[in-house]
Structures are given as structure tokens and as C-alpha cells.
Amino acid sequence: MSAVLDAYAVIAALVGERAGRDVQPLMGTGVICAPNLAEVVDVCVRVHGNEEPRVHERIGWLISGGLEVAMLDASMALAAGALRARHYRRRGCEVSLGDCFALVLAQRRGLPLATAAPDLAAITRIESVKIIALPDSRGRRP
């Protein structure tokens, strides 16, 4: 099955989070948008303490294994900005702009979105996009 993966999904696979098991079968046919890929590098290096060349190497393996990196055009950027403007609420729905890029990509491609983020899952459902609910680090699914 093909799906759009948010940054957390790929991070989970790379650093051994609980959701990694659910994500592995999606890697060969999955797609991640370029802004989310940037977040993967940032979090793996800055938060998890991995060396940047090693993170780049592992991402290269995922891409050579079939993970697609999708570029976004102007209409998708506009749609992501509008989506965030509609749904973002401080202390209520703190969906990131990167999350919105992933959701727009899922909408445009007609694919489910794999995420563990509760706020992203909520707006994904509101926008009538299928969700693959991943477990967070505590095992809870949105």
C-alpha cells in the first residue's frame, strides 16, 4: 500500500521508535514531501544525536528502496498555508506547516496519511483524508 508519510513516520523508522514496525511496510511505496524530509534530518541530528552523514546515508537507502521524495509546487504551498490558517489554534490544534504540506500531498495524490500526531490526525479526518494511525512513543494512536 502506498501512503504519504509525515516526518515522524520516517523518524520512527530511522531511530527505532515504536511506530517503526508499522512504517517499514510502507517505505518501499511511500512518499514524503521535501519539507518533511528536512524535518527528518533536523530531528535525527539535533534531537536524537545522530551524525549528519549517517542520517543522509540512511535516507539515501530509503530512497533507493522506493521511498519517493515529492517536491511541492506553488499551488500546493498555497493550499498548505490556507489549510494551516483554517485549522491552527494555539493550545488547541498546533498543527505545523510541515504537517499541512504532508496533508496537502495526501489530498492531491488520493493517498492515506501515516502519522502519530493527534492534531494532524484530527484535521486529516476533518479534511476527509484516510489516516494510518501510528503509535507514538508511548504506544498511543491518534
The pLDDT, as a whole number, for residue 21 is 93
Task: Map out the domains of the chain with their CATH numbers.
Answer: 4-133 (3.40.50.1010)
For 60: left if phi > 0, alpha if psi spans -120 to 50, otherwise beta; the answer is: alpha
pLDDT above 80 for 51: yes
The pLDDT, as a whole number, for residue 88 is 82
The pLDDT, as a whole number, for residue 91 is 78
Pair type for strands 113-115 and 4-5: parallel
Strand partners, 32: 69
pLDDT above 80 for 77: yes
End-to-end CA distance of the chain: 20
pLDDT above 80 for 55: yes
String of b and e for 101-135 (b: at least 16 CB within 10 Å)? bbbbbbbebebbbbbbbebbbbbbeeeebebbbbb
| Helix or strand holding residue 84 (H, E) | helix 74-87
What would the pLDDT profile of 87-139 be if each residue is shown by its tens digit? 888 777 788 999 999 999 999 999 999 999 999 999 999 999 999 999 998 99
Collect all residues with Cβ–Cβ distance below 8 Å to 45 and sequence separation of at least 6: 51, 52, 55
The pLDDT, as a whole number, for residue 35 is 95
The pLDDT, as a whole number, for residue 93 is 76
What would the pLDDT profile of 21-40 be if each residue is shown by its tens digit? 999 999 999 999 999 999 99
For 16: left if phi > 0, alpha if psi spans -120 to 50, otherwise beta; the answer is: left
pLDDT above 90 for 76: yes
pLDDT above 90 for 19: yes
